[in-house]
Structure 1
Amino acid sequence: MARAFEPAPVSDNARFDFIVVILALLTAFAPLSIDMYLPAFSAIASDYATDTHHVELSLTAFFFGLFIGQLLYGTATDKFGRKNPLYIGLAIYVVTSIGCAFAPDIQWLIALRFLQAIGACAGIVIARAVVRDLYTPQASARVFSFLILVMGVAPILAPLFGAYVTEWMGWRALFLIVAGLGVASAVTIHFVLPETRGRRYDVRMRNTGSTYWAVLRDPSFLRYSLTGAIAQSGLFAYITGSPKMFIEVFGLEPMHYSWLFGLNAIGIIGFSQLNGWLLKYHSSRKILNVSLPILAVVSIVMCVMAYFNAGFWGILLPLFAYISTLGMVFPNAMAGALAEQKERAGSASAVTGSLQFLIAGLVSAGVSQAGSFTDYAMAWVIGVAGLLAVIAYRVMRRPE
């Protein structure tokens, strides 16, 4: 007979202990895998005798891998607990990271990046589900703010680290480093992270599709999840388009671009921590009601700056405001999406993550293609994302 899971107490006290740090590390695998190799785009293109457009496709493939992979883990985490699916995901991540390091051509790199993302997204799904297991909605919003703090460190350090590693050791070493990080994480999780699935629910893997459909039909879930996904798609437009805009169009050196990338990450860190402080006094919904219109305003400003070809500072300032405001929008949208989910917490986490990265993949592909026609493709897409996020939130509001 299978051993029953130990109960997981739900707390309103968001204690930032070692378990929360581990959850932050799990959610950081995806941004590390994205941000660390951005300064290496030119080196990769040169090594494979191709252009940066084809290297951007490896990033697009990663986004689509995150979309599909999260759907694979959602129901599995509700059925088998949190840790076993996590081990499988980390194993996939380690093997494919090593494969990326030795990819013989750009086509192999694109394919392996897709598979690497399927491994990386296990940490995203399971970390969110564990937060839902352990904390009340108000406390979970504070925990998500802390996760963004740790995730925000990755965009600050990862591009700088990636630039130095690429210069000294070559870009392939980047993938060997993250493979080693995956091994170290699996060992740490085995000894430190408890199984937080409170009890077994009657979850049947063959009913995965119907479970996901039931989650999607929840109006509250769909409203918050779609709002957060659309808002964050602007971040992925920035990740995809910023190397070309700032390095090729504005002429920054890769090292200077890495510092600029870190500057924007400081913004999202600061606002996420401001969000954590505000949650002591205001509900997450109230904060979202204020931060979303701010996101819309800076989106409009960015579109205006792009229309008038405002140059480096005209784009950088509203971009910084947009990325920073996401530190308040995304944690509260995520907490709202998962608040009413109980036995479907893992499935709901997978669906919201898949929506996020499906939109991110489409946006990434759109920025890559639009870049052939305009130098300001990134700015236009971010502007539209901010406006659509506010529209989705308002239109899908349930009658009081």
Structure 2
Amino acid sequence: MLSAFGPMSIDMYLPSLPTLSRYFTAPHLAVQLTLASFFVGLSLGQLFFGTLSDRFGRRRPLLLGLILYVLTSAGCALSPSIEVLIGLRFMQGLGACAGLVISRAVVRDLFTPKEAPHIFAAMILVMGLAPIIAPLMGGYLLVWLGWQSIFWLLTVFGLFIFGLVYLGLRETHQPTAEHSLVISKVLRRYHALLLDRRFMAFSLVYAMCYGGMFAYIAGSPFVFIDLYKVPANSFGWIFGANALGLVVMSQLNRILHRRYTAEGILQTVVIIQLLAGIVLFIIGYYPEISMFAIMLPLFIYVASIGLVGPNATALAMAGQGAHAGGASALLGAMQFTAASVSAIVIGSMVMHSALPLGMTILGCAAVAVVGLRYARKLQDPALLMKS
């Protein structure tokens, strides 16, 4: 449930993006900044909560983050202007990130590197169900009760999860003074992670894969609702179909692991993502093309994340041990930095076709391929020397 915080907070209000633009008389870029600021909060907050969870254990920092999430979600519902909403979304992201970063660290606390991909795949299942349900709920809430009701529901969701954690989650990491909060020591630990080339290579693959996904999240409401005139309460069905593909692929991951390694699966899937990006980029040059032609490469790209996510996460986290909180934080920070950049890039371009969406997804897929190629070279010293 903690891993659903991001998708619920992002996907539920996607159908309302064009409505927010009209409600606040704000340009598309300003509305996209409500999404980008949430990503920035997720990114920066993970570094903070990752450090706290290594120092004080998992429970207390998690409960602190959930309290912040509940308060800021209620504030979003009461926002009097787009500027206030942008600021509160940043703070909401800070609270939401506690669930994302600490849930990954708990998996690292409890499971071996061999078991972890299966557990991350189960988390992807929950993360995949949320994008199926959230836009559908958001679309109907928008039509029936207005955009504010979406944030009131997120407030209730945060309170519910707070109760579950308080009553049902035991501590999985004993607090230790070894993880000092002195800023210089914290920075040294993150510096050591930045110098870990294997960790950074797989983290880059993970981050760019999700950068492309968040380009889709930021751009698809305007492509389908504004350009193709899909009703807001029907948009969730399109979004949910793609999320369903992600869920199916994440569960297929368990079967594939019986015959293939995590790295072998990644090598194939990132190429598939690159091909989907190329097709979407080409289609974007033809504004008159059918909506269904755009949906197919988008479906392939989003569904394949169900295979990239758990394998790249497990490979990045495999050697981190007692520093799982910090490693999970940096991994998440890279993910949502890529997401923030993608959302800003999409928001800064005029959406007359799917071309901005295709261009951004293709760029992310290409960088992911390069990152994985470098990770493979780290396995073979001869190739690394040659490069």
Measured against the shorter chain, the TM-score band is: over 0.9
Map of 2:2 onto structure 1? 26
Shift of 1:325: 0.8
Of 113-122 and 272-281, more deviation after overlay is shown by 272-281
Q: 2:292 aligns with which of 313, 317, 324?
A: 313
Paired with 2:251 and 2:109, the residues of 1 have a C-alpha distance of: 22
Shift of 1:335: 0.4
Map of 2:247 onto structure 1? 269
Paired with 2:129 and 2:22, the residues of 1 have a C-alpha distance of: 29
Paired with 2:82 and 2:174, the residues of 1 have a C-alpha distance of: 44
Shift of 1:373: 7.1
Of 285-294 and 90-99, more deviation after overlay is shown by 285-294
Shift of 1:371: 2.8
Map of 2:211 onto structure 1? 233
Contact 1:67-1:356 at 8 Å conserved across structures: yes
Structure 2 unmatched ranges of 5 or more: 381-387
Map of 2:124 onto structure 1? 148
Q: 1:370 aligns with which of 338, 343, 349?
A: 349
Shift of 1:308: 4.3
Paired with 1:150 and 1:178, the residues of 2 have a C-alpha distance of: 16
Of 288-297 and 312-321, more deviation after overlay is shown by 288-297
Of 236-245 and 293-302, more deviation after overlay is shown by 293-302
Map of 1:386 onto structure 2? 365
Please say if 1:327 is aligned against 2:306.
yes
CA change 1:137–1:371 in 2 (3 A) is farther
For residues 91-132 of structure 1, what are the alpha-carbon distances to aligned partners after superposition, in whole Å with 9 as ceiling and x for unaligned? 110110111010111100000000000000000000000000
Q: 1:40 aligns with which of 16, 21, 33?
A: 16
Shift of 1:290: 1.9
Structure 1 unmatched ranges of 5 or more: 1-24
Paired with 1:45 and 1:94, the residues of 2 have a C-alpha distance of: 24
Map of 1:105 onto structure 2? 81
Amino acid at match of 2:269: S
Paired with 1:104 and 1:59, the residues of 2 have a C-alpha distance of: 17
Contact 1:138-1:283 at 8 Å conserved across structures: no
CA change 1:373–1:244 in 2 (3 A) is closer
Instruction: Trace 1:339-354 onto structure 2 (pairs within 5 A).
Output: 339-354=318-333
CA change 1:308–1:395 in 2 (3 A) is farther
Paired with 1:399 and 1:194, the residues of 2 have a C-alpha distance of: 37
Please say if 1:254 is aligned against 2:254.
no
C-alpha RMSD of the superposition? 1.5
Amino acid at match of 1:370: M
Map of 1:189 onto structure 2? 165
Instruction: Trace 1:294-313 onto structure 2 (pairs within 5 A).
Output: 294-309=272-287, 310-313=289-292
Paired with 1:91 and 1:358, the residues of 2 have a C-alpha distance of: 24
Q: Percent identity?
A: 39
Instruction: Trace 1:127-206 onto structure 2 (pairs within 5 A).
Output: 127-198=103-174, 200=176, 202-206=178-182
SS of the equivalent of 1:398 reads: helix
Amino acid at match of 1:364: A
Contact 1:220-1:337 at 8 Å conserved across structures: yes
Paired with 2:54 and 2:218, the residues of 1 have a C-alpha distance of: 33
Amino acid at match of 1:358: T
Paired with 2:2 and 2:14, the residues of 1 have a C-alpha distance of: 20
Paired with 2:175 and 2:90, the residues of 1 have a C-alpha distance of: 33
SS of the equivalent of 1:202 reads: coil
Contact 1:146-1:276 at 8 Å conserved across structures: no
Shift of 1:47: 2.4
Contact 2:31-2:82 at 8 Å conserved across structures: yes
CA change 1:285–1:198 in 2 (3 A) is farther
For residues 4-35 of structure 1, what are the alpha-carbon distances to aligned partners after superposition, in whole Å with 9 as ceiling and x for unaligned? xxxxxxxxxxxxxxxxxxxxx11111110111
> How does the TM-score come out when normalised to structure 2?
0.94
Runs of 4+ in 1 over 4 A off after TM superposition: 372-375
Map of 1:94 onto structure 2? 70
For residues 132-171 of structure 1, what are the alpha-carbon distances to aligned partners after superposition, in whole Å with 9 as ceiling and x for unaligned? 0111112111111111111111111111101111122221
Map of 2:100 onto structure 1? 124
Map of 1:285 onto structure 2? 263
Contact 1:70-1:351 at 8 Å conserved across structures: yes
Amino acid at match of 1:305: I
Amino acid at match of 1:398: L
For residues 229-267 of structure 1, what are the alpha-carbon distances to aligned partners after superposition, in whole Å with 9 as ceiling and x for unaligned? 011111000000001111111221112211100011011
Map of 2:384 onto structure 1? none
Paired with 1:47 and 1:251, the residues of 2 have a C-alpha distance of: 18
Shift of 1:303: 1.8
Shift of 1:374: 5.6
> How does the TM-score come out when normalised to structure 1?
0.91
Paired with 1:63 and 1:167, the residues of 2 have a C-alpha distance of: 26
Shift of 1:278: 1.6
Shift of 1:72: 0.8
SS of the equivalent of 1:137 reads: coil
Please say if 1:213 is aligned against 2:195.
no
Shift of 1:198: 4.9
CA change 1:194–1:214 in 2 (3 A) is same
SS of the equivalent of 1:336 reads: helix
SS of the equivalent of 1:280 reads: coil
Contact 1:315-1:379 at 8 Å conserved across structures: no
Paired with 1:49 and 1:198, the residues of 2 have a C-alpha distance of: 50
Shift of 1:54: 2.0
